[in-house]
Amino acid sequence: MRREDGPIAVIEACQLVKMFRDRKRGAVRAVDGISFRCCPGEIYGLLGANGAGKTTTLRLLATLLRPSGGTASVAGCDVVREPEKVRARIGFLAAGTALYGRLTARETVEYFGRLHGVDEPLLKERLGNIFSTLGMHEFGDRRCDKLSSGMKQKVSIARTLVHDPPVMIFDEPTAGLDVMTARTIVQFIRDCRQRGKTVIVSTHVMSEAEKLCDRIGIINGGRLMVDGTLAELRRQHGITDLEDIFVRIVGGQP
Amino acid sequence: MKLHAIRIVFGKELRDSLRDRRTILSMIVVPVLAIPLLIFGFGMFAFKTMTHAAREIPAVMIVGGDNSPEVFAALRAAKNLQLVPAARDFTNAIVEKRVRAVAELPADFDQLIARGEKAEVKIYEYQGEMKSGFAAENLNSFFQNLRDAKVKENLRGRGVPLEVLRPFNIQRQNIAPPAKVAGNLLGGMLPYLMITLCMLGAVYAATDVTAGEKERGTMETILCCPVGRTELAVGKFLMVLTAATGTVVLSFLSMGVSLQIARRLLTGSAPGQALQNLATIDGWGLAGVCLMMLPVAAMLSSALLMVGLFSKSFREAQSYCGPLMLVVLMPALAAILPGVELNATMAMVPLLNVSLACKEMMMGIWHWNLILLIFGSASVYAAAALAATVWMFHREEVLFRS
């Protein structure tokens, strides 16, 4: 996946289209010809309002949905032809903690590790490392429904890391979280980049995108309106504040 | 299909379910404790009520019958009738249960029958009301006996031998062994009970692993794993099937134990005898029923999984499961109806076919051709239902329905 103007892209979307049938609105193009690329060790932010098509784009990359048109590849694997290989190479974290309340933290992480085909000795080793890094040993054997929201978030993180994926996908990861838990998540995303993982994150929080993302794509009505580094966006629009840039692009205001 | 992945999904779902209080309630507590208590408790209550009603001397009223002291004296002497004074609103008296039945006699009843003239006795009862039925039966047998006695007296008076009334005797003899009698009684009920228990055990488990997962957001997480959707569907299906069959097995074990205990406690009494017959049911028949039920349990598990998968939330799934239960129980109920018998056409009707086959097997009738046809067709239906479930697991518009 080498483009003339850059290094090998770990995530590359090319004219991605996703259409849904809606009883009231008929055929809806939730994602309408989106193309972007995300290079190794980079955090790519998809910025958009609610219903702009961020979640659908991420679900297409995670192979949860099948594109109606266009192509995409993640870590060298095609999302349509090799969906299982793609899933083996991604860690997906959505807004909610989405845990099995009746399993313990340890059982949850073990379950996802096994589903990813991590063999038992390696799973044990990874579990030990992740639990130490995230400080999870003290509540490792407690059921998830008995954990605090911060602890639950840690379990979710551990679940996404257990198979050591090269690509991380975050769908509005801080939505609905308190400040402290949100900071933990933001720090975790930065750590992912430090470990050389490629990250794509969707958000509608401008400050978060400003702090985190190496490249930002602004999405509206299923279309990618602009794409570039924060500095490039500022230069293009002659404004420093990302929110102002966003409003100008999305709302069409000066 | 990767068996290893199926095993991982199945293991997790089973562990998760067994920790759920609601699954424990529907899969273990209800079948092991509540159902035997309900069946035997209700059975004993019904038996006692009926015995009590049969033993009770009913209050009856005789209207009319002026100048008939003989018949009144005989009625007063009858041990199974308690005469109450006549009243004009005798029908109301029955409705209000002041008396259970009323006999209306013509005036001069004694003289009429003495002269050999035709006299009409009308018995009023409240049909459907058990005690009224018993009272009417007592009155009926009183007057029948009176009539017989009168006929005998007349014949004797004319020097005609009594045998003229009975030129020959009729005797009915049961040749069915007790096991078959019990099988006949139970045959229709057993599949109905098993299907109900299957649904009871599977419904919560199926809803929890589908609509429940959607609601908690874990469906999206699990679909992001490299495990195939077929493996995921099959793993979940096996867990629901385990819950369904587990409920049936536990219920029957519990009922078997309760039956043994009840038999010991009630030895010698009439309900004890009934239980004795019940305990002699054919073991092979029961084994055949259990085997036949396996594809049915598989089909029901898949059907419930589909309902759960289609639903957006736990509550929506529960609202679909009620009507589904009715639809499922209808064919099983139809099998209990007298006259509905097994034939090649019936052998193709899902649920009804298995229910009818079970009924026959419990009676010790083994139509092997039909049994194989039914087992085959039930297995095909179960496989089709599972295939549909797997297909639904591949449909993103179902998984992400909003």
**pLDDT, tens digit (0-9, with 9 covering 90-100), for A91-114:** 999 877 789 999 999 999 999 999
Across all residues in chain B, what is the average pLDDT? 86
Q: Are strands A198-203 and A43-48 parallel, antiparallel or unpaired?
A: parallel
Tens-place pLDDT, residues A22-55: 888 888 899 999 999 999 989 999 999 888 999 9
B225 closest CB neighbour out of A66, A96, A112:
A112
Q: Do A66 and B20 touch (CB under 8 A)?
A: no
pLDDT for the residue numbered B271: 63
The residue in chain A having the minimum alpha-carbon distance to the alpha carbon of residue B218 is A98
pLDDT for the residue numbered B164: 80
Residue B264 has pLDDT above 60, yes or no: yes
pLDDT for the residue numbered A179: 83
pLDDT for the residue numbered A160: 92
The whole-angstrom distance between B205's CA and the closest CA on chain A is: 14
Q: Which of B225, B236, B395 to mutate to test the interface with A (most CBs of A within 10 A)?
A: B225
Q: Do B8 and A88 touch (CB under 8 A)?
A: no
The residue in chain A having the minimum alpha-carbon distance to the alpha carbon of residue B220 is A64
Tens-place pLDDT, residues B13-32: 999 999 988 888 888 888 88
Tens-place pLDDT, residues B297-346: 999 999 999 999 999 998 999 999 989 988 998 888 888 887 777 788 88
Lowest mean pLDDT among A50-64, A211-225, B137-151, B281-295: B281-295
pLDDT for the residue numbered B186: 72
Tens-place pLDDT, residues B26-80: 888 888 887 778 777 777 787 788 788 778 889 999 999 888 898 899 999 988 8
What Cα–Cα distance (Å) separates residue B13 from each residue in A108, B7, B220?
A: 12, 10, 16
Q: Do B224 and A98 touch (CB under 8 A)?
A: no
Q: Which of A85, A115, A161 to mutate to test the interface with B (most CBs of B within 10 A)?
A: A115
**A:82-121 residues touching chain B, CB 8 A cutoff:** 84-85, 87-88, 90, 92, 94, 96-103, 107, 111-112, 114-117
pLDDT for the residue numbered B283: 75
Please enumerate in sequence order all residues whose Cβ is within 8 A of that of A173, keeping only pairs 6 or more positions apart, or say none. Answer: A93, A94, A95, A185, A189, A201, A203
Q: Do B12 and A94 touch (CB under 8 A)?
A: no
What's chain B's length in residues?
402
What Cα–Cα distance (Å) separates residue A106 from each residue in A66, A129, A130?
A: 32, 12, 11
Please report the DSSP string for B217-280 in residue order: THHHHHHTSSS-HHHHHHHHHHHHHHHHHHHHHHHHHHHHHHHHHHHHHTTTSHHHHHHHHHTT
The residue in chain B having the minimum alpha-carbon distance to the alpha carbon of residue A104 is B16
Please report the DSSP string for B351-402 in residue order: THHHHHHHHHHHTT---HHHHHHHHHHHHHHHHHHHHHHHHHHT-HHHHT--
Q: Do B221 and A59 touch (CB under 8 A)?
A: no
Q: Which of B18, B210, B221, B393 to mutate to test the interface with A (most CBs of A within 10 A)?
A: B221
Residue A77 has pLDDT above 60, yes or no: yes
Which residues of chain B approach chain A closer than 8 Å at the C-beta?
A: 5, 8-9, 12, 15-16, 19-20, 216-218, 220-228, 396-397, 399-400
The span from the CA of B147 to the CA of B264, in Å, is: 45
The residue in chain A having the minimum alpha-carbon distance to the alpha carbon of residue B10 is A111
Task: Identify all chain A residues contacting B393, using CB atoms and an 8 Å cutoff.
Answer: none
The span from the CA of B390 to the CA of A56, in Å, is: 23
B396 closest CB neighbour out of A66, A98, A115:
A66
Q: Do A114 and B400 touch (CB under 8 A)?
A: no
Residue B150 has pLDDT above 90, yes or no: no
The residue in chain B having the minimum alpha-carbon distance to the alpha carbon of residue A58 is B224
Q: B109 in helix, strand or coil?
A: helix
Most confident by average pLDDT, A49-63, B281-295, B348-362: A49-63
The whole-angstrom distance between A253's CA and the closest CA on chain B is: 32
pLDDT for the residue numbered B24: 85
Q: Do A92 and B224 touch (CB under 8 A)?
A: yes
Residue B273 has pLDDT above 70, yes or no: no
pLDDT for the residue numbered B279: 60
Tens-place pLDDT, residues B73-125: 999 998 889 998 888 888 999 999 999 999 999 999 988 888 888 889 999 99
What's chain A's length in residues?
254
User: What is the DSSP secondary structure assignment for residue B163, as one 8-state letter?
Assistant: G
Task: Identify all chain B residues contacting A117, using CB atoms and an 8 Å cutoff.
Answer: 226
Tens-place pLDDT, residues A170-205: 998 888 778 887 888 888 899 999 989 999 999 988
pLDDT band at B272 (very low <50, low <70, confident <90, very high): low
The whole-angstrom distance between B229's CA and the closest CA on chain A is: 10
pLDDT for the residue numbered A83: 93
A21 and B CB contact within 8 Å:
yes
Task: Identify all chain B residues contacting A79, using CB atoms and an 8 Å cutoff.
Answer: none
Q: Which amino acid is at B251?
A: S
Q: What percent of chain A has pLDDT over 70?
A: 96
pLDDT for the residue numbered A252: 57
pLDDT for the residue numbered B276: 65
User: What is the DSSP secondary structure assignment for residue A137, as one 8-state letter?
Assistant: G
Task: Identify all chain A residues contacting B400, using CB atoms and an 8 Å cutoff.
Answer: 59, 64-65
Residue B179 has pLDDT above 90, yes or no: no
